[in-house]
Amino acid sequence: MAPRPLQSVKTGPLSGTVRVPGDKSISHRAIMFGAIAVGETTIHGLLTGEDVLHTAAAMRALGADITRSDDGIWRVRGVGIGGLVEADQVLDMGNSGTAARLMMGLVASHPITTFFTGDASLAKRPMARVTTPLEQMGASFVSRTGGRLPLAVIGTENPVPITYRLPVASAQVKSAILLAGLNTPGVTTVIEAEPTRDHSELMLTHFGATVKTERIEGGALAVSITGEPEITGRPVHVPADPSSAAFLTVAALIRPGSDITLTDVGMNPRRTGLYDTLIEMGADITFLNRRVEAGEPVADLRVRYSALTAVAVPPDRAPSMIDEYPILAIAAACAEGTTTMHGLAELRVKESDRLAMVANGLDACGVGVEAGPDSLTVHGAGVPPGGATVATAMDHRIAMSFLVLGMASAEPVAVDDSGFIDTSFPGFVDLMNGLGARISLPNTQSAARPTA
């Protein structure tokens, strides 16, 4: 598809009350778990971003019946544990690491062969982190050198349960193993040194599976699933995505006079590291109407402009804000002082090398920045100069982050392609402009100083 450049110019105060789209992690899981449950799962507030639509298409190809009614509610009729059928087409996972990795776990413990592919960004991302444990469970794989997509999973008829210690903090790898464990006799256990998002554990429990989490010696968590449960379709209410709300939150914090409210935002503590960090920087964020909906904590967030000061973000916070470092870097660029972030090696293997893309983009916009192998240092500029076109490398979060930077910069900031924003946040531009942003097609004069 042709690139879709956009530019963002300095805006006045933001105001209004909005609900950002549904949580991407929870939406993928609602479709997948509904597809392997018995009976009907109804999903309210599903994210209809492209990543989740790829998951829905793939689960249909594997036998589930998935429809969307006019009222916006999705209905999934599942096949039951062990009931997935061989797809007669290659499954295209688009830009989505979550879709590819969780689905590989699901099919690995079925006696079927499944072919996966993805776009140029996904085809660069490491898959050995899931194929290694799934091989131990009995599946085999045929892939390109280095274990990348396109890739075939030859599922096993006789899967064996394993106990596996995660070499990287990853909810995707944890979930892939637990999902393979669903159609495996006995107990499958994943040990994680650092707690990652637990949406799989919460939702599988909601569907009737037995999932236990215990703290073991050394402080690690052991997450175990008992195989071959009877899981039944359930209603799922998807909260608004805290990772999407992050862009609006930072935009309001850096525009003087702003006062916005974001409703129904997921507040699972394994996802809220950015909000903790912003509050440490001096952000005025009030959490209203805290409640639990369908097993997930949610709140309405009132966010007001705040003079932010730099912080050192502790590395052990990374799993709870892993997707939020690009937008935190934008907040840091508008803050007073030097912000340091460590423990970020995983950012190099997301939709793009996010450390490199953030550093190149900030540098092009005149903000002092250094990227190390797993760290980022941003020197706050107060009002960033801007005046550049930033390369986004097929990465939705890089595109949204730099459009937010443009809202506070002296000169407009353009992004070379906004098309991938639809993977996670359809309607981003309209929602932002509705609050007072000025994001539009670039005019030719401002497209100066392109980044690498």
Ligand X SMILES: O=C(O)C1=C[C@@H](OP(=O)(O)O)[C@@H](O)[C@H](O)C1
Instruction: Give, as ranges, the residues between 294 and 353 that touch ligand X (CB under 6 A).
Output: 322-323, 346
Tell me which stretch binds ligand PEP (CB under 6 A): 5-13, 57-65, 91-99, 406-414: 91-99
* Of the residues 351, 353, 363, 422, which one makes contact with ligand PEP according to CB under 6 A: 351
**Residue closer to ligand PEP (CB basis): 23 or 264:** 23
**Residue closer to ligand X (CB basis): 95 or 249:** 95
Task: Determine if 97 is a binding residue for ligand PEP (CB under 6 A).
Answer: yes
Question: Can you list the positions of beta strands (E) in 321-401?
Answer: 338-342, 368-371, 375-379, 386-390
Min dist CB 395 to ligand PEP, Å, is 8
The continuous run of DSSP H or E covering 211 comes out as strand 211-215
Rounded Cα distance between 228 and 79, Å, is 13
**Measuring CA to CA, how many Å separate 193 from each of 171, 174, 387?**
12, 12, 43
- Taking each helix axis from N to C end, the angle separating 396-408 and 354-364, rounded to the nearest 10 degrees, works out to 20
* Per-residue x/- track, 59-98, ligand X (CB under 6 A): --------------------------------------xx
323 is catalytic: yes
From 119, 198, 264, 323, active-site residue: 323
Instruction: Give, as ranges, the residues between 183 and 222 that touch ligand X (CB under 6 A).
Output: 197
**Residue closer to ligand X (CB basis): 101 or 237:** 101
User: Structure tokens of 288?
Assistant: 């209203």
The listed partner (ligand X, ligand PEP, none) that binds 424, CB under 5 to 8 Å by sort, is: ligand PEP
The listed partner (ligand PEP, ligand X, none) that binds 55, CB under 5 to 8 Å by sort, is: none
Beta strand pairing call for 375-379 and 368-371: antiparallel
What single-letter DSSP state applies at residue 293?
E
Tell me if residue 345 falls in helix, strand or coil.
Answer: helix
* Of the residues 121, 175, 184, 360, which one makes contact with ligand X according to CB under 6 A: 175
**Residue closer to ligand PEP (CB basis): 162 or 371:** 371
What single-letter DSSP state applies at residue 144?
E
**Residue closer to ligand PEP (CB basis): 352 or 377:** 352
DSSP 247-281: HHHHHHHHSTT-EEEEEEEE--TTS-HHHHHHHHT
* Sign of the four-CA dihedral 183, 189, 190, 192: positive
Binding site as annotated, residues for phosphoenolpyruvate: 24, 97, 125, 172, 354, 397
Task: Count residues binding ligand PEP (CB under 6 A).
Answer: 8
The listed partner (ligand PEP, ligand X, none) that binds 175, CB under 5 to 8 Å by sort, is: ligand X
User: Structure tokens of 240?
Assistant: 């608004």
Burial of 345 (0-12, 13-18, 19+ CB in 10 A): middle
What residue ranges bind ligand X (CB under 6 A)?
25, 97-98, 170-172, 175, 197, 322-323, 346
What residue ranges bind ligand PEP (CB under 6 A)?
96-98, 323, 350-351, 397, 424
**Residues recognised as catalytic:** 323
